[in-house]
Structure 1
Amino acid sequence: MSIIDKSFESIIVDLEVNGKEYTLQVPPYKTLLEVLREDLNLIGTKMGCEDGNCGVCTLLMDGMAVKSCSILAAQANGRKITTIEGLEGKNDLHPLQQSFIDNFALQCGYCTPGMILTAKAILDENPNATEDDIREGLHGNMCRCTGYKSIVRAIEEVRDGKYKEACGEV
């Protein structure tokens, strides 16, 4: 016996992902994370805990950091989505991406896309974020390899303008 109501087998969802428009027909129970990875082949957004606790799946929706495993694709209808694939600077890498590399703020890289997009949301909301602001903003994004000292340092260097000339404005 199926627990899925067949009268709602699929819905139409319009998304703008990384500046490109998509109209997709998806099951109503499919998450934004699943749509990105399975339907759009944007695999930079990772799946971690599947219940919104680890932050691995964080992306930007209308500029706000959200956990895509906890959002149905239908809830993202008409929204602007930015994934790690859509985050670029003038010279390929976004300043946050370059700073994470330079500051060894990544090891296995699994949490890195979510961390970088969360960091962008923090700095977009508060360009003068203090260390405490950054640490508070990262709450809910877990890293098991690197630790947070290098991650915070990478974000602070972007905040302080170290990468403006190399990568363009944040």
Structure 2
Amino acid sequence: MSTIYDFSVKNAAGEMVSMDKYRGLVVIIVNVASYCGFTNSNYRELKELSGKYYKKGLRVAAFPCNQFGYQEPSCEVDISNFINEKFEFEPDLYEKIEVNKPIFGGGNVSPLWEFLKKEQPGTLTNAIKWNFTKFLVDRKGRVVARFAPTTNPSSFEEEIKELLGEE
């Protein structure tokens, strides 16, 4: 596997979707949660970036995850409604996933997220540390950057503009 295009994932409706749908686009891939301290700022800024650059080729791929503090307990329908109603935002929403192997074994870690972590290792460990870890993917499907949950999406707008060819 060398790009995100090599993967298929289930969307929020449970249908398999090839990540090839993002071919030629710039993508922010993010694990999301509705009840996290980072929820408001991240969704607001992701919406703003998406609104600003959608026509130029930016997409947001949101993967709900309940592994951190059980901050995403709802089903995909409720998660979608929450994002739409509270933020008036419709990112590409996918099925709830696990981004890390559970400490006590078991679980089914998303192969896409294993790939993302391998391509852009984390600090100290490759594990995803919390909700709203963000990966930036270029127009060729390569993972070019990783941003911590504490990093606001607006802080890497210049990188987005560069990848969109807007320097």
- TM-score, normalised relative to structure 2: 0.26
Pair member with larger Rg: 1
Judging by fraction of residues, say which structure has more helix. Answer: 1
* Higher-RCO chain (CA-CA 8 Å, sequence separation at least 6): 2
- TM-score, normalised relative to structure 1: 0.26
